Amino acid sequence: MFSLFDFISPPICPCCREELCIGPNHLCENCEEQLPLLPEKRCPACGGPNPGYLALCNDCIDVEGGRPWKQAASALSFTGIARKLIHLYKFRNCLAVAPFLAERMFEAWDKYCASCQIDAITYIPLHFTRYFTRGYNQSEILADMLSKRLGVPKCRALRRKRRTSQQARLGLKSRMANMAGAFSADEEAISGKSLLLIDDVFTTGTTFSAATKTLLKAGATEVFVLSAARA
């Protein structure tokens, strides 16, 4: 519903920047219709589509040793409008996209992981050089919003020990080598806690995996993961 402020300064769609939308957690009607949604049946281990008859998708079955986290969810398919939105948010300083993504992430968590008990929310950190270049951490902003939405405290559990290459430019083996030893964890902040780990995009799961293993080694009891989009 529109507020008085909306009539004075009508909300613009954060995606197309042309059409009016109905609030900060929405897109315009045209962009909403083009939004790529994930199918109803999803893999609980990665949050992606699971078209088969087994509990897990083929990708997760093929992961040696299984996924280190307990369960995963994702909001959107990382294609089309969703990909554009995340690139605007991540690389073009379009922070107006964040409330929309956070709300969709909350909806996915509420639908697929409502029974999961968490003590705190944390996020994938940026190396300080990348943080100062960009000016913000897109995953931390989403974690802030989800912390308020879920009524669960946010904590800074992880630190990026070294600057890594952009994962999107690398193959699977290179991604694994790139993330090896990339994180350290605050043991005092997370010991004995069940954590929800936030990032913008789940591609192969390599970044989530490295971060989760670091959290578990530092004393977290279990880790769940949530992303805005699943490749």
The arithmetic mean of pLDDT across residues 154-160, rounded, is: 94
User: Residue 29 in contact with residue 20, Cβ under 8 Å?
Assistant: no
Residues 85 and 98 in one domain: yes
Q: What are the backbone dihedrals phi and psi of residue 83, each rounded to the nearest 5 degrees, phi first?
A: -65, -45
- Indicate if the pLDDT at residue 173 is higher than 70: no
What pLDDT is stored for residue 5 in this prediction? 38
Residues 206 and 92 in one domain: yes
The arithmetic mean of pLDDT across residues 28-45, rounded, is: 92
Kindly state the helix (H) or strand (E) to which residue 187 belongs, with its residue range. Answer: helix 187-190
Say which residue the tokens 């991540």 belong to: 90
Return the CATH number at 148.
3.40.50.2020
Residues 14 and 48 in one domain: no
SS (H, E, C) 108-141: HHHHHCCCCCCCEEEECCCCHHHHHHHCCCHHHH
Residues 8 and 76 in one domain: no
- Indicate if the pLDDT at residue 4 is higher than 50: no
Residues 185 and 97 in one domain: yes
- Parallel, antiparallel or unpaired: strands 158-160 and 71-77: unpaired
Residues 185 and 107 in one domain: yes
- Indicate if the pLDDT at residue 213 is higher than 90: yes
Residue 182 tokens, joined: 């990339």
Residues 63 and 173 in one domain: yes
- Length of the chain in terms of residues written: 231
pLDDT class of 13 with cuts at 50, 70, 90: confident
Tens of pLDDT, residue by residue over 116-152, are 999 999 999 998 888 898 999 999 999 999 999 999 9
- Per the structure, how many domains does the chain have? 2
Residues 15 and 25 in one domain: yes
Higher pLDDT, 146 or 29: 146
What pLDDT is stored for residue 15 in this prediction? 86
Residues 20 and 129 in one domain: no
Residues 108 and 143 in one domain: yes
* Least confident range of 153-157, 162-166, 211-215: 162-166
Residues 172 and 185 in one domain: yes
What pLDDT is stored for residue 226 in this prediction? 98
For residue 83, the enclosing domain spans 36-230
Residues 30 and 136 in one domain: no
Tens of pLDDT, residue by residue over 65-124, are 999 999 999 999 999 999 999 999 999 999 989 999 999 999 999 999 999 999 999 999
β-sheet bridge partners, residue 37: 76
